[in-house]
Amino acid sequence: MPASFPQYVTEAITGPLPDPPGVKLAKEGLKAKHPVVFVPGIVTGGLELWEGHQCAEGLFRKRLWGGTFGEIYKRPLCWAEHMSLDNETGLDPPGIRIRPVSGLVAADYFAPGYFVWAVLIANLARIGYEEKNMYMAAYDWRISFQNTEVRDQTLSTIKSNIELMVATSGGKKVVVIPHSMGVLYFLHFMKWVEAPAPMGGGGGSDWCAEHIKAVMNIGGPFLGVPKSVAGLLSAEARDIAVARGMAPGFLDMDVFGLQTLQHVMRMTRTWDSTMSMIPKGGDTIWGGLDWSPEEGYECSPKKPKNNNSEAGGQNGFGNLGNATQVHYGIMISFGKGVAELHSSKLERVDFRGAMKGNHLANTTCHDVWNEYHDMGVEGVKAVADFKVYTAGSVLDLLHFVAPKMMKRGGAHFSYGIADDLDDEKYEHYKYWSNPLETKLPNAPDMEILSMYGVGIPTERAYVYEFSPTPECFTPFRIDTSAEAGYEGTCLKGGVFSVDGDETVPTLSAGFMSAKGWRGKTRFNPSGIRTYIREYNHAPPANLLEGRGTQSGAHVDIMGNFALIEDILRVAAGATGQDLGGDRVYSDIFKWSERINLKL
């Protein structure tokens, strides 16, 4: 709701507004009970300057990220330089210190008028929350999770604050609400806090059981997002980079001039955290060349989804005769036709051994460095000749095109599935943020809720092409001309889309709660209860509603009244069962069924 309209005007147009959930529930008698911890996601948290180069004069403790972004327009190159991290270490470059804003202001509004947590905070305040029992666990979302502890001691700070809030609220456990990448960050935290001291927080094996009542994951990319692959590969994913995906409209092309993509890419490639969202679980989860769990998904939203996919489910995976079947398992394909071919007909040339070197003569774009220049023509060609990549081989692709970045990231993140969770190597922190390579803590009273929006087409796979002018552009680009000729319009502008919240596919957000952790599994040895709460997307009914009170989109869902009500009830003491257990609109259970994973 634009604040400029007085309430009586809007009520005259739309009829009386529904009470915000906070007011409604306060009338029902709900009171603040459990302290609440927010964990913001990537991009939405503010970053401010503590030390900078000459060109950043006068920006001390001003926001470089978040807020008005005025500085991008004034001094774009200086801005990009400061936002980048060191390419070798993934930490601060010399002479530059950018730190997360702390406190609730860190992520209540991303930009003026663009709320992230503000609506939720306001509603929590209605039932009696205030600064002392609400805590925003702001962290530097650019660096890898373990590095936030190494550099800023952020994990220790979160631990200490949770302990403090539990102590000052009379022993009430906290309700944690992570959003987006914050979900993975908190997963990492839960392992860290119980791990012994040098690498972990030394909280002991029942820390989570003693301090956490529930983890309410909002739009959690547990198994990664395909968007991040496109973001890393070519700094584009319909909208530029992962960064832009979460904050549409703020990073405009013209700011950096013609070389936007390269600048953004060079910047985002120094951010280790983007690698935490590369699809995990490989072909087992995301599908191989010939099948995918979402097979049979009907993209046209007009038709009732259930009929068709029901049939697909009965036929199993082998339903290849159907022309509308989309091979979601092929995450990247070169050329539109390739994506639809049967795997046996593909001719692929292995790129892994291909020659690198044979440098492109880059005289025209000298100041924009990126690793593609090290790859040479041969390498680029080899990549394209391989034709198709699944979630598993996409990792090899990334290793090939961005070796430095992946080497750095490989030390902090892992994307596989554990065979034996008791293996000692899984005590290393790089596995902690991958739900398929860690056990949940031993906390049988804890609850895990996966809350996410559904009903919005979400990027799932891409059709790529060679970029026409390889000197000045990244050599690959999404083939925006690739359109599906037939009715099922899953392919649009070179992107195959599937059900989700616009950023995270349903599969990634829901699988762990639907199957991976449901009941007592090897990933969830203590049998923590899990619930799925889906929120079907309904676009705002009119302009006055702003970003909608029933939205299911990745960030806008934070203003969804149903979601807020769920959170308020849990914070006031309800359990997942009291909320009504699972609430599912998508086919998540069917899709999870198809995934063949040892539990």
Q: Kindly name the residue from 479, 501, 566, 582 that is annotated as catalytic.
A: 501
Q: How far is the CB of 256 from other proteins (least distance, A)?
A: 16
Single out the residue of 173, 365, 183 nearest to residue 276, CA to CA. Answer: 183
With respect to other proteins, which residue has the nearer C-beta, 104 or 538?
A: 104
CA-to-CA distance for 509 and 216, rounded, in angstroms?
12
| Chain residues that interact with other proteins, rule: CB under 8 A | 3, 50-51, 57-58, 60-61, 74-75, 97, 99-100, 102-105, 108, 121-122, 125-126, 130-132, 152-154, 156-157, 160-161, 163-164, 167-168
With respect to other proteins, which residue has the nearer C-beta, 79 or 511?
A: 79
Q: How far is the CB of 286 from other proteins (least distance, A)?
A: 38
Pair of tokens at residue 416: 């596989």
With respect to other proteins, which residue has the nearer C-beta, 133 or 506?
A: 133
CA-to-CA distance for 148 and 330, rounded, in angstroms?
34
Q: How far is the CB of 157 from other proteins (least distance, A)?
A: 6
Pair of tokens at residue 573: 């003491």
Q: Kindly name the residue from 82, 179, 537, 554 that is annotated as catalytic.
A: 554
With respect to other proteins, which residue has the nearer C-beta, 15 or 58?
A: 58
With respect to other proteins, which residue has the nearer C-beta, 105 or 544?
A: 105
Q: In 402-487, where does DSSP find H-type helix?
A: 403-410
With respect to other proteins, which residue has the nearer C-beta, 102 or 526?
A: 102
Element containing residue 167 per DSSP (H, E): helix 154-168
Residue 180 annotated among the catalytic residues of the structure: yes
CA distances from 577 to 91, 127, 374, 447 (A): 43, 21, 55, 10
Pair of tokens at residue 468: 């026409």
Q: How far is the CB of 98 from other proteins (least distance, A)?
A: 10
Q: How far is the CB of 356 from other proteins (least distance, A)?
A: 40
Residue 582 annotated among the catalytic residues of the structure: no
Q: How far is the CB of 161 from other proteins (least distance, A)?
A: 8
Residue with tokens 């009715």: 487
Q: How far is the CB of 67 from other proteins (least distance, A)?
A: 13
Q: 17 Cβ partners below 8 Å, 6+ apart?
A: 1, 7, 10, 11
With respect to other proteins, which residue has the nearer C-beta, 275 or 568?
A: 568
What does the H/E/C string look like for 294-340?
CCCCCCCCCCCHHHHHHHHHHHHHHCCCCCCCCCCCEEEEECHHHHH
Length of the chain equals 599
CB atoms near residue 541 (< 10 Å) = 11
Q: How far is the CB of 431 from other proteins (least distance, A)?
A: 24
User: Are the beta carbons of 63 and 107 closer than 8 angstroms?
Assistant: no
With respect to other proteins, which residue has the nearer C-beta, 122 or 484?
A: 122
Beta strands in 429-526 (DSSP E): 447-454, 456-466, 476-478, 491-492, 495-500
Residue 327 annotated among the catalytic residues of the structure: no
With respect to other proteins, which residue has the nearer C-beta, 147 or 154?
A: 154
For every residue of 265-292, DSSP letters joined together read HHHHHT-GGGGGGS--SHHHHH--SS--
With respect to other proteins, which residue has the nearer C-beta, 132 or 425?
A: 132
Q: How far is the CB of 276 from other proteins (least distance, A)?
A: 22
Q: 273 Cβ partners below 8 Å, 6+ apart?
A: 42, 141, 142, 143, 144, 145, 181
With respect to other proteins, which residue has the nearer C-beta, 160 or 542?
A: 160
Query: What 3-state DSSP class applies to 372?
Result: helix
Beta strands in 77-197 (DSSP E): 97-100, 109-111, 114-115, 134-136, 174-178
Single out the residue of 166, 163, 223 nearest to residue 416, CA to CA. Answer: 223
Q: Which residues of 386-413 are buried (b: 16+ CB within 10 A; e: fewer)?
A: bbbbbbbbbbebbebbbeebbebbebbb
> Which residues does residue 390 pair with via DSSP β-bridges, in sequence order?
330
CB atoms near residue 82 (< 10 Å) = 25
Q: How far is the CB of 187 from other proteins (least distance, A)?
A: 22
Q: 241 Cβ partners below 8 Å, 6+ apart?
A: 231, 235, 251, 264, 265, 268
Q: How far is the CB of 152 from other proteins (least distance, A)?
A: 5
CA-to-CA distance for 511 and 517, rounded, in angstroms?
8
| Helix, strand, coil tally for the chain in percent (to 5) | 40, 15, 45
User: Are the beta carbons of 178 and 214 closer than 8 angstroms?
Assistant: no
Residues tagged active-site: 180, 501, 554
